[in-house]
Amino acid sequence: MEGSPIPVLTVQTAPYEDQRPTGGGGLRRPTGLFESQRNYLPNFVQSVLSSIDLRDRQGCTMVVGSDGRYFSRTAIDVVVQMAAANGIGRLVIGQNGILSTPAVSCIIRKIKAAGGIILTASHCPGGPGGEFGVKFNVANGGKAPLVTASIQAELCIEEYPQTPHLGNQWRTDPIALPIIMGPYVRRVLCDELGAPANSAINCIPLEDFGGQRPDPNLTYATTLLEAMRGGEYGFGAAFDADGDRYMILGQNGFFVNPSDSLAIIAANLPCIPYFHQIGIRGFGRSMPTSTALDRVAKSMKVPVYETPAGWRWFSNLMDSGRCSLCGEESFGTGSDHIREKDGLWAVLVWLSIMAARKQSVEEIVTEHWTKFGRHYYCRFDYEALDPRTAYFIMRDLEALITDKSFSNQQFAVGNNVYTVLKTDSFEYVDPVDGTVTKRQGLRIIFSDTSRLIFRLSASSNVRATLRIYAESYEKDPSKHNMEPQAVLSPLIAIALKISQIHERTSRKGPTVIT
């Protein structure tokens, strides 16, 4: 076929109003929508491709991968057909269509591709009744900035080109890059580092993830938690479907809060050869992430950049040389080697720290608390809310806490008294380009540095998720072994009282607590 023109058809279509990109850097919706709605996937893929300047698009290379969930193979067929019709010169596709999100970012940067399309719904369930998603990463390997106006402008799509005779050839001649979390864990941890083969579980990619939700937290990683509680193993880690999130457990199920994990990695970067070579320029964290990182940064005399939630905000900081390490409370950590969070990288860093310090997970964490103090922290997720109800809860709450009468207000809960020091609706001014992003969550900061944060998640599907974050700092080592729920219950009581979320949603409690 080389040298022969590829026939291109023009397909008429109509836009879908619900395809505005979400906070995760793309489109995430129930799988049934992609299967049942005519041109639902092609519309968004064409909008992504059209957002690339025509001069950059012609003859360029792009990377395509997926987390192997149901509908991925069909979706890759569509991407191949449309990429060819749009003049893309070369596609690098993972073996069996599978590539982890950090791997896609790495490959884009390594081969200087124009960008990449990742077919994943991250930590959401798979299968016909689950969710499916499309993410677009740009030439620096990071998420498209805001997936912004350029894509949104293309969503008024009326037609798209397609090459119907191409598509499934990639299934028989893929690029040999067998990287997704199961095979990756086996190759790196078992084959290279010598971990026993039976220490890698759930490592066979399945379209429905075996009926499990691929979300590495205490709510969903119960099999790992129970295994670790037995005391036989000293280190446990869980990953999500596309490999960018992780969770660390120590012996007897000792849980490492992801905000603590970020701070501990930062404090121990001298254990990592990579940072000996490049130095430590600064740290980044999302606003809802605990301020544990800030205390480490202060001791190391490096800046901390507080961004909105979402990994895309870190790319500018890294590209400008301001940030070496960044992370979020949602179980994501990464460095400037790529422009995505990287779960396996974080786990390897933890193993390096343990080897260098010759200490267990629990010893490393408790020693860190002794030096810097402990930040008790939790997040309450209220999922699948009516969007209008969630919007009005946040609107009314913002009006309440930003009113002058709320300042210096005191809340007495049991033996605890909390005095409001500062409230705001968080806005971010990018230090690189000066871009201002407003309304990124509501903050209440108390005089003892405790914090309450309320935020609507932008990464869920057509229903809304409202998140409440609570944080309380404790310097006294004799009080470092308390249960987070017990310590934070007064703050949670305040949050529930002022938001009236249970009364306004008829919920008795959160869907998920982390």
- Beta strands in 155-200, from DSSP E residues, in sequence order: 159-162
- Record the tokens describing residue 163, joined without a space: 């090459």
Coil/strand/helix, residue 465: strand
φ and ψ at residue 409, rounded to 5 degrees: -65, 145
How many Cβ atoms from other residues are within 10 Å of residue 12's Cβ? 8
DSSP secondary structure letter of residue 477 = G
- The set of catalytic residues is 122
Q: Which of 100, 80, 68, 81 is nearest to 341 (CA)?
A: 100
Question: How many helices and strands (H and E) does the chain possess?
Answer: 17, 23
Strand pairing partners for 117?
A: 64, 136
Query: Which tokens sit at 416?
Result: 């605890």
- CB neighbour class for 121 (10 Å; exposed up to 12, middle 13-18, buried from 19): buried
C-alpha–C-alpha distance, residues 257 and 81, integer Å: 43
Q: CA-CA distance, 442 to 454, in Å (whole number)? A: 5
Q: Are 133 and 242 in contact (CB under 8 A)?
A: no
DSSP annotation of 269? G
Tokens of 183: 């095979």
User: What is the C-alpha to C-alpha distance for residues 498 and 391, in angstroms, rounded to an integer?
Assistant: 15
Strand, helix or coil at 130? coil
Q: State the number of CA atoms in the 13 A half-sphere of 126 facing the CB.
A: 25
CA pseudo-torsion sign 396, 473, 374, 483: negative
Neighbours of 54 (CB within 10 A): 9
Give the total residue count for the chain.
Answer: 514
The label of the residue with tokens 């028989």 reads 172
Beta bridge partners of 378: 470
| Cα–Cα distance for residue pair 463/148, rounded to 1 Å | 21
Tell me how far apart the alpha carbons of residues 119 and 71 are, in angstroms, rounded to a whole number. Answer: 9
